[in-house]
Structure 1
Amino acid sequence: MNQDLTGLVAIVTGGASGIGAAIAARLRAGGAAVAVFDLRPDTAPHADLALAVDVADDASVRAGVERVAAEFGRIDILVNNAGIGAQGTVETNTDDDWHRVLDVNVVSMARVSRAALPHLRRSPSASIVNTSSIAATAGLPQRALYSASKGAVAALTRAMAADHLREGIRVNAVNPGTADTPWVGRLLDSAPDPDAERAALEARQPHGRLVAAGEVADAVAYLTSPASGSTTGVALAVDGGMQELRLRPSTA
């Protein structure tokens, strides 16, 4: 498949670390110019332009988007990747927790997309990719708030795809399984037995390991490229089969 992104300009939110950094690196490798929005842009390892943007603040978002448009003259790709985690049940998460996580994980995607849409409408290869999660399609313990936010991302993606298809803008999502990222690493470090916790996370994914951030980035590169011109409204699972497969226990 031709995933040549030469001449295209991409914004990647939360692009300074983890999956976001891998996405930024992969899009640049494909030929795109990449602007990273992050609270800590100085740590972004793969960016042609790294900006301090708070996706929870509309003025910050609009300023960042206009800076990218002024710098590169166009915006073709938006990857809404910024997000925060949450642990707990509906009993343990507070109202403040719900407001904060939903604002960052869901409303921010509308916020950044809204600011970028006037520029995307002028692109011949416009694409938006939202980062959802396996938590949107599988019930995971102690993830009520996080799951609700990612389920909202999946529904938002389909609605956005319907709204903007006839404007020439494709909208898709990626649903990563548990990925080997700094955030997951911190969760493992805080567990009573990090090795046992890692083994449990690996075992629940049918292919028996954590998802690599680069694998998610490759999926995003496909969804943003002209090679996927007939793909829109899709949530692409990158989860080692966790969403769809039900394997029998191994006898090995």
Structure 2
Amino acid sequence: MAERAATGGVQSVERVFELLEVITAAGGEMSLSELSATVNLPLPTIHRLLRTLVPSGYVRQLPNRSYALGPRLIPLGEGASRQLGSAARGRLEQLVRELGESANMAVLDGQQVVYIAQAQSNRSMRMFTEVGRRADTHDTGVGKAILATLPDERVREIVLSAGMPTPTEKTLGTPEALFADLERIRERGYAVDDEEQELGVRCYAMAVPGAPTPTAISVSGPISRVDEDFAARAVPVLHRIAEEIAADLAPAGV
């Protein structure tokens, strides 16, 4: 009979998900020794679980003997992202009704963000971001809001791996400039993309607290409308909607 965890669940299943989450948090790849140092499990147990996951394709072993997330996880992640976006769409529509500008939701996927939901403004001049579009983290409001929730070493790993292209003269082009901005984001609780991805467009974004994967929401529009007065109205609304999405995503008891 499978061993039962203190929560009433199956302990081996909980351990498998713990391993997958730890590998994900480390950027998708870890050695056996790194896993052993991170997870509070005996080395033989870790090795046994990995031997189960590798043949099924949920984990793969690399030539250097490290372990990486496997391709069988891709459709699961894509399906979860679609469901997450669908569940949050009503909240984004509420943002549009209250603020009058387009709203987006994005999650961290590797070294980039991917947009998983949007609600459009009904204004004739409005911002549009296609669901499924990928973007860099350092020049987007949602990306910077997410980065501000991560440890500095993880942020550095992301931007050094992805690079820091500068689509406009206002884009942050160095890790030092980005870290200074992330400190401001952490202090005030929201991020601003001030024409950093596209000239003439400003975006205010906020991370969703406690989301199962790093997630952020945003409102964006032309700088002629999305100004400091707009920010004074938008930030409290973003905070409320982010909290409501967090509550929607909170695991329910079974």
TM-score of the superposition, structure 2-length normalised? Answer: 0.30
Larger RCO (CA within 8 A; separation ≥ 6): 1
Give the greater-gyration-radius structure (CA).
2
TM-score of the superposition, structure 1-length normalised? Answer: 0.30
